[in-house]
Amino acid sequence: MRIHRHLTIHLPLRFVSLCFVGLGAWPCTLSHANEAIRVAIYNDNGVGQSWKSVQSNLTAEDQTFSVQTINAQEIRSGVLDDFDVLIHPGGSGSQQGKALQEAGRESVRKFVSDGGGYLGICAGAYLATNDYSWSLNLLDAKVVDRLHWNRGNGDVSISLTDQAATLFDCTDHEVNIYYAQGPLLGRREWDDPRVPDYESLAVFSTEIAKKGAPRGIMIGTSAAVRGEYDEGRVLCFSPHPELTEALGSWITIAVQWLACDQSRPEATPRCPTSARPTPGRRRTPTKNRD
């Protein structure tokens, strides 16, 4: 049986935001009240150091998360059957997608289709689109200005929708956040009926246009999106809440939302109707793998 080590390593954080993070109006009812949400963090080719901050946010304080790191081979071998939520963190979306190989990408799609949750951050958001040969095709989203994907890092402002402000319990719809060359997400001219549409939770209201990137492109594109994929849920951040002071708990909120169980409609409290996807189910743990 593989032993997954849990590290608590803090990277520099940026900004103090006017968001009082917490589950607020978005609690989730799990199938069994005392069960921890089982979270897998992809940590293999294409992953940068920010995964450590993602893990730290989930393992800090008294949270109900069981967090493990997994690699591409394990995904291809079916390890996702043991988890409720998969996180693909920052790094390189193309390297992560290619490391998974088609078999691994199909395993991720099946995991989400069967009721799992997918959280993509920066590179993981690139990966969730249907815009590349190595994409997961979880969201019908294109990457705007693909040529200048490496437009630079820095602090930006994003505008939250009312739904996002409720989800993240923010008193201010304008939030400062750290950006590190994440995707500028946009809708396609022609809808792809095979891939679910997404709901935009936030758009960029300021921009970074370094390294030859043209100005005026980034503003108005989506910075955070969510959607449903058959019985599962998908949520993606282009920027990095886990690297932004006071926004780290957005990660825990996102994971709670992704794992929200609607298989028992009589259970309370419940997720708001406007955010409820096709009813999913909690996974049954499988035997440990040797």
User: 60 with 9: CB under 8 angstroms?
Assistant: no
Beta bridge partners of 91: 47
In a domain, 29, yes or no: no
In a domain, 283, yes or no: no
Helices and strands per DSSP (H, E), number in the chain: 6, 11
Spatial distance between the Cα atoms of 125 and 123, rounded to a whole number of angstroms: 5
The distance in angstroms from the start CA to the end CA of the chain is: 4
Beta bridge partners of 37: 65
Spatial distance between the Cα atoms of 152 and 178, rounded to a whole number of angstroms: 11
In a domain, 220, yes or no: yes
In a domain, 102, yes or no: yes
In a domain, 19, yes or no: no
Strands 232-237 and 199-204: unpaired
pLDDT recorded at residue 25 = 38
User: 240 with 178: CB under 8 angstroms?
Assistant: yes
In a domain, 5, yes or no: no
In a domain, 8, yes or no: no
Domain count, the chain: 1
pLDDT recorded at residue 7 = 38
pLDDT recorded at residue 49 = 95
Strands 65-70 and 117-121: unpaired
In a domain, 32, yes or no: no
Digits of tens for pLDDT over the chain (290 positions)? 333 333 333 344 554 445 544 433 334 444 445 689 999 999 999 999 999 999 999 998 666 899 999 999 999 999 999 999 999 999 999 999 999 999 999 999 999 999 999 999 999 999 999 999 999 999 999 999 999 998 999 999 999 999 999 999 999 999 999 999 999 999 876 677 777 788 999 999 999 999 999 999 999 999 999 999 999 999 999 999 999 999 998 999 999 999 984 432 322 232 333 333 333 333 443 333 33
pLDDT recorded at residue 2 = 36
Helical pair 51-59 and 249-258, crossing angle rounded to 10 deg: 80
Q: Give the residue numbers spanning the domain of 118.
A: 37-275
Spatial distance between the Cα atoms of 196 and 277, rounded to a whole number of angstroms: 12
User: 112 with 281: CB under 8 angstroms?
Assistant: no
pLDDT recorded at residue 197 = 82
Helix, strand, coil abundance in the chain, percent, nearest 5: 25, 25, 55
Spatial distance between the Cα atoms of 46 and 89, rounded to a whole number of angstroms: 9
198: nearest Cα among 281, 137, 245: 137
242: nearest Cα among 74, 51, 114: 51
CATH number (domain holding residue 202): 3.40.50.880
Which letter does DSSP use for residue 4 in this model? Answer: P
pLDDT recorded at residue 10 = 38
User: 277 with 257: CB under 8 angstroms?
Assistant: no
